[in-house]
Copies of this chain bind each other. A is one copy, B any other.
Amino acid sequence: MIVTDGSPVSIVATDADDQPTRTPELEALYRGFESELLVPLWTEIGDLMPPSPRSKALPHLWRWQALLPMAERAGELVPVGRGGERRAIALANPGLGGRPFATPTLWAAIQYLNPGEDAPVHRHTQNAFRFVVEGEGVWTVVDGDPVAMRRGDFLPQAGWHWHGHHNVTDRPMAWIDGLDIPFQHFAESTFFEFGPDEVETREAPERSRSERLWGHPGLRPLTHLRPTPATPLLAYRWEHTDRALTEQLALEAEGHGATVEPGHAAVRYTNPTTGDDVMPTLRAEFHRLAPGTETAAAREVGSSVFQVFDGTGRVTVGERSWSVERGDLFVVPSWQPLTLTTENGLDLFRFSDTPIFERLYQHRAQNDRQENPR
């Protein structure tokens, strides 16, 4: 880009109370600023330094019943292959100017793979994961290790590992992808590299090598003793998640403190080499609300995307409110309060950008159920 004509900067003098008196001299100064590519703080501070975060992103809900047919239609019309790389269709937050960004930092998309198709191998610095709300039959091959994808599974995919997907069945499969694409796009840290057009192996084992090495609670192979920035465990299976949540509610019923608040069980997916989040920029959790539960309003710095995994309920984010059911996806922008209620029970997958803020000491949270949030 070459700046050929005029300045990209434009400063408007106004008669607002907190602005300097609008005089010809001031106008001349502002023109001088423009020609030197300068912008005063005093005309911008209201937008740049609000009392608390004002997200550009809006609370929004995408219905699975609308999303899935779109993906199916794309499966008919759009080939998957080198260049486009993935048949992935991203949520575009209505507040973010038409970009494929669910929130300012998070990407969320439905991906769709027809029988026999391969999504070609590549790697990128973006951290990623897949979560499966329904279906099965695709193996994602990570650094040559084939990982089955099935309903309820969470499949992390840390940055700069080779990966492709292939569908070994005779039925299509859809799932959601979550990534930190908007964050890395904004922060300008993205690297990308192409691999082979087809996955390295068509093996479709029940369990990946990664799970066989790492999927034993509290046990660490002696061959891998150094902490790694992201989890080496490539699949967090639904049977474990479901059991953990079931146990939390059972423990609560037995009188022990195991839930976040009454009727609200929750687990965080973690990196077994550190006990910390699965990936440096992404947090992933699963929440289960027992029938009749209403959560306390809670808000925090950073944004989240939720997908309803099962059940029905009502979601309130800021001034928006929706009834939700299986597969629906919604966005909670930074510092917007969230409340969840359910009559019959509600299972929710959640991911967020919280590790970014925690690692940079910018995280804050507020919760109606407690003065000093955990």
Contact = CB atoms under 8 A, between A and B. Distances in A.
24 contacts: A7-B98, A10-B98, A20-B79, A29-B70, A36-B70, A40-B74, A41-B109, A42-B87, A48-B185, A51-B193, A52-B190, A54-B188, A57-B188, A188-B301, A189-B362, A209-B256, A216-B217, A218-B269, A218-B278, A219-B270, A220-B269, A222-B266, A227-B275, A272-B272
Nearest to A256: B209
Contacts of A192: 49-52
Contact of A189 (B19, B23, B241, B334): B334
Contacts of A185: 47-48
Q: Determine the main DSSP class of A at the interface with B.
A: loop
A56 interface: yes
Interface stretch (A88-96, A161-169, A309-317): A88-96
Interface stretch (A99-107, A130-138, A289-297, A338-346): A99-107
A258 B221 contact: yes
Contacts of A87: 41-42
A89 B223 CA distance: 35
A58 interface: yes
B45 A98 contact: no
Contact of A73 (B32, B91, B125): B32
Contacts of A231: 218
Contacts of A105: 187
B62 A37 contact: yes
A181 B50 CA distance: 11
Given A159-B362, A272-B272, A104 B223 contact: no
Given A189-B302, A219-B236, 19 more contacts: A20-B79, A33-B89, A37-B94, A39-B99, A40-B100, A41-B84, A41-B88, A41-B100, A42-B83, A42-B88, A48-B100, A54-B188, A209-B256, A213-B251, A215-B218, A217-B236, A222-B266, A223-B258, A280-B359
Interface in A52-82: 52-58, 60, 62, 66-67, 70, 73-74, 77-79, 82
B42 A222 contact: no
B20 A77 contact: yes
B92 A39 contact: yes
Contact of A209 (B53, B159, B251): B251
Contacts of A281: 360, 362
Nearest to A287: B222
Nearest to A46: B83
For this complex, into which size category does the number of interface residues on chain A fall? 35 or more
Contacts of A271: 218, 275
Contacts of A52: 190-192
Nearest to A230: B361
A357 interface: yes
Contact of A241 (B23, B41, B219, B227): B219
Contacts of A360: 280-281, 355-356, 359
A371 interface: no
